[in-house]
Amino acid sequence: MRKKVLIVFAQPEPTSLVRQLVDTGVAALEAEGHSVMLSDLYGMGWKAVYDAADFPERANSERLSFIAESGHAFDSGTQPADIAAEQAKVLAADAIILAFPLWWFGMPAILKGWIDRVWAYGFAYGYKGQGNRHRYGGGGLAGRRALLAVTTGGPAEDYSPRGINGPLEQLLFPVTHGMLFYPGMAVLPTHALYGVNRITAEGMEAAKEAWRARLKHLFDEKPIAFRAQNGGDYPDHHTLADDIAPGESGILLHIAK
Amino acid sequence: MRKKVLIVFAQPEPTSLVRQLVDTGVAALEAEGHSVMLSDLYGMGWKAVYDAADFPERANSERLSFIAESGHAFDSGTQPADIAAEQAKVLAADAIILAFPLWWFGMPAILKGWIDRVWAYGFAYGYKGQGNRHRYGGGGLAGRRALLAVTTGGPAEDYSPRGINGPLEQLLFPVTHGMLFYPGMAVLPTHALYGVNRITAEGMEAAKEAWRARLKHLFDEKPIAFRAQNGGDYPDHHTLADDIAPGESGILLHIAK
């Protein structure tokens, strides 16, 4: 089955390892018969800062509420063209890959600003104007897959289960669970390339091969088993049912065993 | 003892709850005899995107390595003036408060871009040009305190120990541990104001009073007990010693019991 894949990436250097993964990914996906859309945030000069200029026709000109103005702009079709264009790409995609170097244990600002601006009220939250009714596993982006492709300067051991930085997948929980699963996407385990500051040419070739192999299963790999809000595990839509992992707490509870 | 406090904030609306917390904080700190510096990122038109323009005199004009160019610009005094000015404020401060609305479970892009650009190699990492030698509890910003002041639109229960978003302090681990403790600061537990979309005038007054009370102890409150890299808990400087919480894993291991 031919699918559409959107790759959003945040690294301006054409020879960087992120860009090599993007180029490798495009070739691998096209070889499978898929079509690929690209959002090269640095190349596009993406506006990172979400501000009043994003609401040319205000619902309330007195006081800037981002949530209220976001919903108003989305509903009234008055969003800036760059935001609307990215939303159209996301809706056209069967899978979305975010490729970026890990900067200070998160996304570069330009990519965070893509989320801040594109993930509008009515689009990625407040779906159908119904507040939190459809979040986490349901919502505007349901039916799509999402995958992070991340490079780190530091070595894998620093991100290992007992590594000093914390495990990479836990550091990225606010992204995978909070930004991607929240609007309804099925999120695959993060694809990481560690220690890129010291990688050899041989290591890079092996990394590309691993990435190609990974992408072959983009549409049949098992996603992270995040619990859906409306699947029964959150009877009040806010907290986990008492009979699931009783007495335990923390982010990992939101992944089914 | 009079101290200097830097408040960095990321919310353009003057009547927003973040701005009310900032204003309340300035008054409370000055009433204690402290002096306050402000970085109003929206008001300053802060450049959020870290890019080649931040390295006017390149060490390598062929290929852009952010780490290498960051270190070169810092060492050679060729950083842009806005970056150098923020670094000077940070060095002058005894405590740093980052105040922001939680957007998609993290900082607004403009604040992430403040970290990306100001936290230079040689300043917040790679201290003394020695790679990872001084990170986590030691380093360029040691001797300072740091505190996050965060507002959330969603209710407190969503961020509670078993709440659907995950506990706020765990979602912010990449910030508190990764961005603030890494360069050496002692980090206080996050100050959160939940459910700001529905707060009453009475609730806001109570929130301001709680914030004033909290700030009275900015310099004597006990920080989060993050484990220092060079304190003995990480014999190889990468992974936690085998005899600490044997068999366990995850971000919470890096907080001493």
Query: What's the pLDDT tens digit per position in A225-248?
Result: 999 999 999 999 999 999 999 999
Whole-number pLDDT of residue A19: 97
Task: Give the DSSP letter of residue B176.
Answer: I
User: Do A115 and A231 belong to one domain?
Assistant: no
Of A50, A110, A248, the CB nearest to B49: A110
**Residue B2 pLDDT:** 95
Task: Map residue A136 onto helix, strand or coil.
Answer: coil
Residue in B50, B109, B161 nearest the CB of A116: B109
- On average, the pLDDT of chain A sits at 97
The fraction of chain B above a pLDDT of 70, given in percent, is 100
> How many C-beta atoms lie closer than 10 Å to residue A24's C-beta?
17
d(CA B243, CA A127): 48
Which of residues 81 through 110 in chain B touch A, CB cutoff 8 A? Answer: 101, 103-110
Looking at this protein, which amino acid is placed at residue B163?
G
Nearest to B116 by CA among A49, A120, A162: A49
Shared-domain flag, residues A137 and A90? yes
Q: Which residues contact B243 (CB under 8 A, 6 or more apart)?
A: none
Q: Between the CA atoms of A192, A193, A197 and A202, what dihedral angle is there, to the nearest 10 degrees? A: 180
The set of residues, in sequence order, having a beta carbon less than 8 Å from that of A47 and lying 6+ positions away, is: A82, A113, A117
Does residue A197 surpass a pLDDT of 90? no
Question: Taking CB atoms and an 8 Å cut-off, how many pairs form between chains A and B?
Answer: 191
Task: Give CA–CA dist A47/A113, Å, rounded.
Answer: 7
* Cβ proximity of B112 and A106 under 8 Å: yes
Q: What is the mean pLDDT of residues B177-204?
A: 96
Chain A interface test: which of B15, B40, B47, B49 (most A C-beta within 10 Å): B49
Q: List the CATH number of the domain containing A199.
A: 3.40.50.360
Cβ within 8 Å, pair B162-A239: yes
Please report, to the nearest 10 degrees, the dihedral formed by the alpha carbons of residues B134, B4, B39, B149 taken in order. 80
Q: Indicate if the pLDDT at residue A198 is higher than 90.
A: no
Note whether B233 and B214 are same-domain residues: no
Q: Assess contact for A167 and A159: CB atoms under 8 A.
A: yes
pLDDT of residue B1: 80
**ipTM entry:** 0.98
pLDDT at A182 over 90: yes
Q: B240 pLDDT exceeds 90?
A: yes
Least confident of A2-6, B141-145, B197-201: B197-201
Residues A216 and A241 in one domain: no
Looking at chain A, how many residues does it have? 257
Are residue A220 and residue A239 in the same domain, yes or no?
A: no
- On whether both A179 and A249 belong to a single domain, the answer is no
| Per-residue pLDDT, A23 | 98
Look at residue B198 and tell me whether its pLDDT is greater than 90: no
**Which pLDDT value is given to residue A61?**
95
Using one digit for the tens of pLDDT, what is the confidence trace for B120-170? 999 999 998 888 999 999 999 999 999 999 999 999 999 999 999 999 999
Within 10 Å of residue B189's Cβ, how many Cβ atoms? 15
DSSP B22: H
Q: Provide the pLDDT for residue B64.
A: 97
What pLDDT is attached to residue B49?
A: 98
Whether residues B245 and B146 fall in one domain: no
Backbone dihedral angles phi then psi of residue B35, each to the nearest 5 degrees: -110, 145
**Span B9-15, average pLDDT:** 97
Closest of A205, A105, A186, A79 to residue A141, by C-alpha: A186
Chain B (138-177) residues lying within 8 Å, Cβ to Cβ, of chain A? 153-155, 157-158, 160-167, 170-171, 173-175, 177
A109 and A217 in a common domain: yes
User: What are the φ and ψ backbone dihedral angles of A239, each rounded to 5 degrees?
Assistant: -130, 155
Closest CA to A46 of A21, A18, A9, A14: A9
Range of the domain at B198: 4-224
My answer on whether B30 and B101 are in the same domain is: yes
pLDDT tens sequence across A66-90: 999 999 999 999 999 999 999 999 9
pLDDT at residue A253 in the model: 97
What is the pLDDT averaged over residues A31-54?
98
Are residues B83 and B127 located together in one domain of the fold? yes
- In angstroms, the CA A155 to CA B22 distance is 38
* Total of domains in chain A: 2
A92-136 pLDDT, tens digit per residue, is: 999 999 999 999 999 999 999 999 999 999 999 999 888 899 999
Measured over the CA atoms of residue A233, residue A235, residue A239 and residue A241, the dihedral's sign is: negative
Closest-CA residue of B relative to A233 is B164
Task: Check whether B72 has a pLDDT greater than 90.
Answer: yes
Which chain B residues in 202-221 lie under 8 Å from chain A, judged by CB atoms? none
Tell me the nearest-neighbour CA distance from B218 into chain A, angstroms.
25
Chain B residues with CB inside 8 Å of A253's CB? Answer: 162
- Pairwise CB contact (< 8 Å): B234 & A116: no
Residue B197 pLDDT more than 90?
no
Whether A92 and A8 share a structural domain: yes
Are residues B150 and B214 part of one domain?
yes
Number of residues assigned to chain B: 257
- List Cβ neighbours of B14 (8 Å cut-off, separation of 6 or more): none
Cβ separation A50–B109 shorter than 8 A: yes
Collapsing DSSP to helix, strand or coil, A199 comes out as coil
Residue percentage of chain A with pLDDT more than 90: 96
Give pLDDT, residue B202: 95
Per-residue pLDDT reduced to its tens digit, A165-180 = 999 999 999 999 999 9
Beta strands in chain B, from DSSP E residues, in sequence order = 4-9, 35-40, 95-101, 145-151, 186-187, 191-193
Residues of B in contact with A116 (CB under 8 A): 103-104, 108-109
In the structure, what pLDDT confidence band is assigned to residue A1 with cuts at 50, 70 and 90?
A: confident
- Strand-pairing partners, residue B168, are none
Mean pLDDT (whole number) for A31-44? 98
Q: Which amino acid is at B194?
A: Y
Smallest CA-to-CA distance from A5 within A89, A73, A105 is with A89
Q: Which two tokens stand for residue A160?
A: 């290992």
Which candidate, B79, B77, B103, B85, places its Cα nearest to that of B11? B103
Local structure of B251: helix, strand or coil: helix
CA gap A91, A246 in Å, rounded: 38
